[in-house]
C-alpha cells in the first residue's frame, strides 16, 4: 500500500475515532436517541472511501448505516470500522513505553509521551472521566434531594 493511501486511511481513522467519541458522549448524555443525518452521511462516505482503497475485501462485511441510526450503533460501527482498517494494528507507539508506578518515587510517565502526544487510551480515559463526572454529580444531587425530602 502506498504512503499516500496509508496517510489517508490514518486520517479517516482519526475522524472515525472522533466520531465514535462524539457518538458515545451523545448517547451517554441522552441528547437524542438518533444520530444526526450529517454524521451518518459522513460515516457512510468514509466507509465508501475506505472500500475504494481496500484491496483485501474485508470491508465488504460492513454496510451503510440507515438514516435512523442510534448514537450507540454509530459508536459501535465506528469502532468496528477502526478495528478493521487500522493498518498500524492499534495505537501508534512512537516511543511510548507507557507509565508505571514505583513505591518509592510515585508515578512515572515516559517523557516521550508528551513529545509525540498521548496514546489514544489516555485520551479515552480523559473522555471517560468527563462522562462520569456528570453522572457522579447527578447521584450527589439526587442524594442531597432525598436527604432534604426525608428531613421535611
Q: Which pLDDT score, from 0 to 100, does residue 66 have?
A: 92
Q: Which pLDDT score, from 0 to 100, does residue 91 have?
A: 47
* Mean pLDDT, all residues of the chain: 76
Higher pLDDT, 57 or 69: 69
Print the domain residue range for 105.
3-151
Q: Is the pLDDT of residue 142 over 70?
A: yes
Which of 56-70, 86-100, 114-128 has the highest mean predicted lDDT (pLDDT)? 56-70
Q: Is the pLDDT of residue 3 over 70?
A: yes
* Among the listed residues 125, 120, 52, the one whose alpha carbon sits nearest the alpha carbon of residue 83: 120
> What is the pLDDT confidence band of residue 92, given thresholds at 50, 70 and 90?
very low
Q: Which pLDDT score, from 0 to 100, does residue 93 have?
A: 43
Q: Which pLDDT score, from 0 to 100, does residue 94 have?
A: 42
Region 97-105 average pLDDT: 51
Please tell me the total count of domains within the chain: 1
> Sign (positive/negative) of CA torsion 82, 86, 90, 96?
negative
Q: Is the pLDDT of residue 44 over 50?
A: yes
List Cβ<8 Å contacts ≥24 apart for 9-12: 9/50, 9/53, 9/85, 9/87, 10/87, 10/88, 12/46, 12/49, 12/50, 12/85
Higher pLDDT, 102 or 132: 132
Global pTM exceeds 0.75: no
Angle at 47 between CA 131 and CA 24, to 5 degrees: 10
* Among the listed residues 50, 69, 73, 72, the one whose alpha carbon sits nearest the alpha carbon of residue 60: 50
Q: Which pLDDT score, from 0 to 100, does residue 103 have?
A: 53
CA distance 122 to 28: 19
Amino acid at each position: 500500500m502506498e504512503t499516500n493511501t496509508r496517510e489517508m486511511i490514518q486520517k479517516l481513522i482519526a475522524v472515525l475515532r472522533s466520531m465514535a467519541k462524539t457518538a458515545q458522549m451523545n448517547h451517554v448524555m441522552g441528547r437524542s436517541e438518533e444520530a444526526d443525518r450529517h454524521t451518518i452521511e459522513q460515516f457512510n462516505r468514509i466507509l465508501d472511501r475506505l472500500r475504494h482503497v481496500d484491496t483485501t475485501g474485508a470491508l465488504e462485511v460492513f454496510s451503510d448505516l440507515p438514516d435512523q441510526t442510534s448514537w450507540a450503533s454509530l459508536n459501535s460501527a465506528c469502532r468496528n470500522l477502526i478495528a478493521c482498517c487500522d493498518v498500524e494494528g492499534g495505537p501508534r507507539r512512537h516511543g511510548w513505553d507507557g507509565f508505571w508506578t514505583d513505591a518509592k518515587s510515585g508515578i512515572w510517565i515516559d517523557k516521550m509521551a508528551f513529545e509525540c502526544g498521548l496514546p489514544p487510551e489516555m485520551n479515552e480515559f480523559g473522555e471517560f472521566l468527563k462522562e462520569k463526572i456528570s453522572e457522579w454529580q447527578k447521584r450527589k444531587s439526587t442524594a442531597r434531594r432525598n436527604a432534604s425530602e426525608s428531613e421535611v
